[in-house]
Structure 1
Amino acid sequence: MPSGDELEVALDEGTIDADSGSVPIAAVELELRHGQAESLYGVALELLETVPLRIDHVSKADLGYELLVAEHSDAVKARPVHLNRRDSVEDAFCTVVRNCLDQVHANERGVVSGHDPSSVHQMRVGLRRLRSALDLFATGIPAYPGLDGELRWIASELGAARDWEVLAGATLDRSGTIGNADEIQPVRQACERIAVNNRQRAAAAVESVRYTRLVLQLAVWLNRKGWRGGMSDEQRKGIGGAAGKFAAEVLRDRHRKLIKRGKRLADLDDHRRHRARIAAKKVRYATEFFASLCARRAVQHYVEALTALQDDLGWRNDAVVADQLLKLLPQTSPEAASGAAFARGYLASRVAADHQTLKKRWKRFRRLSPPH
């Protein structure tokens, strides 16, 4: 540890008790009394090599209150990003990444508890936003080697649970409203069983040493601005430029890419439509990241049209994923074979019927210019 840095270490062991139950406590608390934050993270990483630890973002008092009132953590959506027109590109990067991480961390406990599928969804959204932010700034601030691979790993652990949750819920709801509930019910029950198992897998991943290491390494890199080490003077000057100018260039570039990917959108095959959907998602995230630097009315109109387009592309993607999962379902749940076949056919008919709606939504969006 650097000379002069001072850390306080406390060991807590015991239980929090209430009428509704008790929660065991076994914690190592590290507090930086004096020095650099990376010293704190460095000690935590060293401990992680010896003891399987995970980070808890909730205090003992909050745990006690949750137990007292018998409440669970609610799923947390992303909060608005607030940037200043005087911010540099590097300032904007740090603010955006921390905003994404706040959403990820706020949903960890919900994922671990397994009580609410929405926490899995919102943590996954936070990870997607984070990966999009890293990609958005990558030309000026490249991520450290291996980061994207680790983010892909944890996102995939959450994704398996989420895909089956969506199928068991919203997707099958579309198939079960036309008098065939008896056929759909075995499908729903089988999907729910798989979703529960996958939620347990997602919880284990979030509690794993691998995930804790990812969180700590990312925090170290962000706090010490680790990207600066290998930069030239010209590169440092580039990330010191105005965030507003950078934002305008990014929004124009991402808008152009979406327009190119979405040409004849309603007639694209699944693969090319999926690429257009990803491009739309990147535009949406970039617009939300930089909204505070743009005219409010322009952002509002743009996001409204983009949201309608994304909703359409999103449920179409859910239908594609559902078709793949429903093909597999009879292998493990033969009793669901008939209902799965019906659901596949019904969803295919819904996708075909949506052709004109998608054309109209794409036409509306294509007329707009990116906000500035």
Structure 2
Amino acid sequence: MVCHFELVLSLPRPAAHAWMVPRNENPRAWSDDELGAAFVEALSGAPRAARWATEDVSSADAACGSNTTITPCRDQNRNLAAARLRVQLETGPDGRRVSVTRHSCYSPALSVCEVSFSAPLPEFEAPLSEALAAAPHTLKPTLDAAGDLTALDAHAYTRDCWRWQMDDAVMVSVWFERDAITKDGEASFPFELRLTTPFEEDAADVARLALFKAANEVAAIVPAFPVLHSAREDISEDVSQEERDTSHNSTSRSTNHSTTLHAAPETHPARAAPIDLTDLSTPQAALIAIGGNLAAHWFGNDAGVRDAISVEFVHQFRVSQRRLKTALRIFPHWADEAWNTRIAPDLKWLGGILGEARDWDVFVDTTLPALAAADSDATRWNATRERANLSRLAARERVQAAVASTRYAQLALAWLEWLSALPSREAPAKDREQSLHAYAKKRVRKYYERLMSAPKLTTLDDEARHKERIHAKYLRYTLEFFESIASRKTRSECIKTLSRLQGVLGDGNDVAVALRYLEALDVEPYQAGFARGWTEAAKRYTAQEAEHLLRALREPKIRRGKAE
């Protein structure tokens, strides 16, 4: 069987409309047909692109050629989904055929697709069972258990395809997928680009790198952003959101072709999920598991920030970036040239924009209302809140523009490419012989001792207290990553105390930021004076409370074997 690597990019409609504006003299609302035609034109003009015709594609390929309609099929008892099989009906100028493919997760966003069976239907209206009767015996038990299949005509989609000739003689197929039927009054599926390339086990890295290189080139042409899985997977597999979340949050322990499901698109902000490291023995295996967890957190929020920005999406998206940076502090010897040149600089760029937006959100929604409530006349702050909200909205627009940019798309792809290399990468020499227990214990002790060596927090200035808050954050995130192999008291007491400590120090930092923002808003002298007094009192209180929490913090413990 032929194996293909597969990577899916989403083309969100809001980003598509923004992309169309400079391409047209009269900006307006464009129809899906107009957007689709513009994408086809742009991709067809790419230097590497060669348009496929149906007759160019062999029946053994993972998909069919251009101008083909794909109809997903589903069984009632979901045996196909359980076996990670997909059955689809392909309709083109030369007739219809049925294909059976098996999909598994290689790394976050990168799938392996095996074409298990493909055959033409003897007649256009022939039942699927006639073609599937010739399927290999290895598929027969699952297909028989699936019983009659339902063709989901309402979810059919069309494909256009280009050959993307890469270096090293690698050919990448770029499939543009869009709804075949306009659904009046219903939310349509997003436009998607599916990039595939065949590979042999001994040349998998070459194919993988070529696939990501092609994705970067595509993202520079059209507003395409990587996703952890296609939005269409839920239709053919009929997997509930609860099941998908549960499966994704579990840890893949394989460094080869894992069958862990990808994460589904989120309608609510995604939060950091627990990580199970109990059966892992090496730091590299732990980093792979942590990377998958971080990917779910990151890509569970980026679409919400880009397409329908809200306070909590921005907050969780920012937290995912901060957790990622902390992870590479915990595993510094894995930070290679790709990380240092292609990922870290753009994480800093994105973090700055997200941090500004988050600070304005906290200022407008929390700190400024508390400041006004402390005044004898809260209404005198209304005009200030209105001006602050304008600054908040401008910061949000900068975030949206950043997350809808080519720079962001290529940052996301660079990180996913870096993650995809971990399973086949040799561990750094310094850490190759260390057990996970010893490695985690050393890192936890380092951050704990650094935090506890702080002078009395009430004696520090704003900047120094902020640094201690960062140290508390590093220790907290480190313990959360290693929570499953920590002692019971560490899980029940230390992490909670650290969370409270980080929160209290964060409150103190928020009021310090508020004073700077008020000065930037050029408020009247009375408000400036009142704010200085209020913020000083708030900072003293938070410093005292944080000092109490810090000195009550017990030393965290990492256990050998399974956590008890």
TM-score band, normalised by shorter chain: 0.7 to 0.9
Q: 1:352 maps to which residue?
A: 540
2:421 to 199, 202, 224: 224
After the TM superposition, which segments of 4 or more aligned residues of structure 1 sit over 6 Å from their partners? 2-6
Contact map agreement 1:2 1:39 (CA 8 A) in 2: yes
Q: What 5-or-longer segments of structure 1 have no aligned partner?
A: 65-70
Q: Which has the higher contact order (CA 8 A, sep 6+)?
A: 1
Q: 2:307 maps to which residue?
A: 113
1:29 maps to 2:194: yes
Q: Distance in 1 between matches of 2:233 and 2:353?
A: 27
Going from structure 1 to structure 2, the CA distance change for 1:23 and 1:196 (only over 3 Å counts) comes to: farther
> 1:36-89: per-residue Cα shift (whole Å, max 9, x none)?
34342222123234444323457445999xxxxxx9821111111211343311
Q: Distance in 1 between matches of 2:336 and 2:266?
A: 37
Going from structure 1 to structure 2, the CA distance change for 1:46 and 1:354 (only over 3 Å counts) comes to: closer
1:298 maps to 2:490: yes
Q: Distance in 2 between matches of 1:316 and 1:324?
A: 13
Contact map agreement 2:508 2:543 (CA 8 A) in 1: no
Q: 1:196 maps to which residue?
A: 393
Contact map agreement 1:38 1:223 (CA 8 A) in 2: no
1:273 maps to 2:444: no
Contact map agreement 2:280 2:286 (CA 8 A) in 1: no
1:308 maps to 2:496: no
Going from structure 1 to structure 2, the CA distance change for 1:310 and 1:181 (only over 3 Å counts) comes to: same
| Letter matched to residue 27 of structure 1 | E
Q: 2:449 maps to which residue?
A: 256
1:10 maps to 2:175: yes
Deviation at 1:300, TM superposition (A): 1.6
Contact map agreement 1:141 1:227 (CA 8 A) in 2: no
1:74 to 261, 268, 283: 268
| Larger gyration radius, structure 1 or structure 2 | 2
Going from structure 1 to structure 2, the CA distance change for 1:351 and 1:49 (only over 3 Å counts) comes to: closer
In terms of fraction of residues, the more strand-rich structure is: 2
2:224 to 53, 56, 60: 53
Q: 1:68 maps to which residue?
A: none
Q: Distance in 1 between matches of 2:471 and 2:496?
A: 16
**Secondary structure of 1:176's match?**
helix
**Secondary structure of 1:74's match?**
coil
Q: What 5-or-longer segments of structure 2 have no aligned partner?
A: 1-165, 236-264, 559-564
Contact map agreement 1:108 1:206 (CA 8 A) in 2: yes
**Secondary structure of 1:302's match?**
helix
Q: How many residues align?
A: 354
- Report 1:172-183 matches (<5 A): 172-178=368-374, 179-183=376-380
Going from structure 1 to structure 2, the CA distance change for 1:3 and 1:351 (only over 3 Å counts) comes to: closer
**Secondary structure of 1:82's match?**
coil
Question: When the two structures are superposed, what TM-score results if normalisation uses the length of structure 2?
Answer: 0.57
Q: Distance in 1 between matches of 2:303 and 2:295?
A: 14
Deviation at 1:191, TM superposition (A): 1.6
> 1:177-217: per-residue Cα shift (whole Å, max 9, x none)?
23432022222222222111111110111111111111112
> 1:106-150: per-residue Cα shift (whole Å, max 9, x none)?
101110124411111110000000011111110355463222211
Contact map agreement 2:330 2:478 (CA 8 A) in 1: yes
Q: Distance in 1 between matches of 2:404 and 2:397?
A: 11
Contact map agreement 1:7 1:34 (CA 8 A) in 2: no
Contact map agreement 1:140 1:239 (CA 8 A) in 2: no
Contact map agreement 1:110 1:116 (CA 8 A) in 2: yes
Going from structure 1 to structure 2, the CA distance change for 1:371 and 1:212 (only over 3 Å counts) comes to: same
Question: When the two structures are superposed, what TM-score results if normalisation uses the length of structure 1?
Answer: 0.84
Going from structure 1 to structure 2, the CA distance change for 1:25 and 1:248 (only over 3 Å counts) comes to: closer
Contact map agreement 1:186 1:339 (CA 8 A) in 2: no
Q: Distance in 1 between matches of 2:266 and 2:430?
A: 47
More moved, 46-55 vs 319-328: 46-55
**Secondary structure of 1:225's match?**
helix
| Letter matched to residue 153 of structure 1 | W
2:327 to 124, 133, 145: 133
| Letter matched to residue 452 of structure 2 | I
Deviation at 1:173, TM superposition (A): 2.6
Q: 2:84 maps to which residue?
A: none
Q: 1:161 maps to which residue?
A: 357
In terms of fraction of residues, the more helix-rich structure is: 1
1:244 to 429, 437, 440: 437
> 1:202-258: per-residue Cα shift (whole Å, max 9, x none)?
0111111111111112222221239958x8xxx447235311110001000110111
Deviation at 1:24, TM superposition (A): 8.6
Going from structure 1 to structure 2, the CA distance change for 1:84 and 1:142 (only over 3 Å counts) comes to: farther
> 1:269-290: per-residue Cα shift (whole Å, max 9, x none)?
1121111111110000100011
Q: 1:369 maps to which residue?
A: 555
More moved, 279-288 vs 79-88: 79-88
Q: Distance in 2 between matches of 1:325 and 1:63?
A: 45
Going from structure 1 to structure 2, the CA distance change for 1:89 and 1:369 (only over 3 Å counts) comes to: same
**Cα RMSD (Å) of the superposition?**
3.0
Q: 2:345 maps to which residue?
A: 149
**Secondary structure of 2:340's match?**
coil
| Letter matched to residue 309 of structure 1 | L
Going from structure 1 to structure 2, the CA distance change for 1:202 and 1:176 (only over 3 Å counts) comes to: same
